[in-house]
Amino acid sequence: MKISAERLEELVVSTLEQHAFLFADPCPSEGDNADDSEANVSGVSFDGGVSGRLSVRFPRELAAEMASNLLGMEEGEPIEDELNQDLVFEFVNVLAGRVLSEMSNEGRALRIGPPVWVGVGQPKDADAERHTVNVAVDEHRVEVILELVGV
Amino acid sequence: MDAKILIVDDSRTVRAVLKRTIQLAGFDASGVREAGNGLEALTALEADGADVVLTDIHMPEMNGVELVQALRANPKFAEQAIVVISSESTEERRAQLLGLGVKHMLSKPFTAESIRSVIVDMMKVQPS
């Protein structure tokens, strides 16, 4: 393992704060009881010295808050699907860049793919080393899963 | 502050976020123009020039590295001030861009202050 769960958690919290002005605190996982009806799950794949995927479950209401912070939209104003997608993809992209940059600095050259939607409940790679981080922004929960294969 | 700034990114939303950050950094929004990829950026520069180009790396049609290479190969834009803004900040990429004469590479997440700092520095070094 080249990045600890604690460090991953720090990066999630600091990226939410620095990129989106959203202030998060670590929280326990809801496991399979999580309500995904109003959340988007997106992720990026990567390969190189190690391959895997970083996926993020991001509530739609929180994406609207991010739009307010980043674009000056009215708070509570509903956002279009395209804007929601762009904002969440960009957050995933920035977070993945920071996480993989730290892993690259440890001698692993990694190539990162473009962000894509990931289906909820998608089969998991049984051989993958998995790190899960949950943070809360007010009443919203963001879950980040880093799966590493070939470590 | 007045500056002609060209934002190059394939995401309309990212361009909007960047434009707002540039405004928060103290620059006049009327001087900011946008392009969706390297090819569009070349067209915009030929038409109207720019004091500073802020470009992403990963884009369709022509990516940020190809844009920098195309500009450096054109005597008209060989000294063009360019800032690369990306979530990809590996040493390998930094070395590649430095070799192409890119003095500033901003890692995401960026701040209004970091944007302001690089634009002011680029305009000071390379006045239009």
Give the domain ranges of chain B.
5-123
Contacts with A104 from chain B: Cβ below 8 Å: 90-92
Q: Between B98 and A123, name the one with better pLDDT.
A: B98
pLDDT confidence of A120, banded at 50, 70, 90? low
A5-149 domain in CATH 3.40.47.10? no
pLDDT tens per residue across all 128 residues of chain B: 788 999 999 999 999 999 999 998 899 989 999 999 999 999 999 999 999 999 999 899 999 999 999 999 999 999 999 999 988 777 788 888 999 989 899 988 888 889 999 998 888 744 33
Secondary structure of residue B52 in the 3-state scheme? strand
pLDDT at A122: 58
Question: In this model, does residue A5 exceed pLDDT 90?
Answer: no
For residue A96 the two structure tokens come to: 């993945």
Structural domain B5-123, CATH architecture = 3-Layer(aba) Sandwich (3.40)
A91 in contact with chain B, both atoms CB, cutoff 8 A: no
- Please give, one letter per residue, the 3-state secondary structure of chain A: CCCCHHHHHHHHHHHHHHHHCCCCEECCCCHHHCCCCCEEEEEEEEEECCEEEEEEEEEHHHHHHHHHHHHCCCCCCCCCHHHHHHHHHHHHHHHHHHHHHHHHCCCCCEEECCCEECCCCCCCCCCCEEEEEEEEECCEEEEEEEEEECC
Q: What is the pTM of this model?
A: 0.83
**CA-to-CA dists, residue A21 to A45, A64, B18, B111, angstroms:** 26, 13, 15, 11
Which range (A77-81, A134-138, B89-93, B98-102) has the least confidence?
A: B89-93
What tokens does A58 get?
A: 């991001």
Can you give the residue ranges of every domain in chain A? Answer: 5-149
Confidence (pLDDT) at A124 = 62
Q: Tell me the pLDDT band of A89, cut-offs 50, 70 and 90.
A: very high
Taking an 8 Å cut-off on Cβ atoms, the answer to whether A71 and B89 are in contact is no
Residue A2 CA neighbour count, 13 Å, CB half: 21
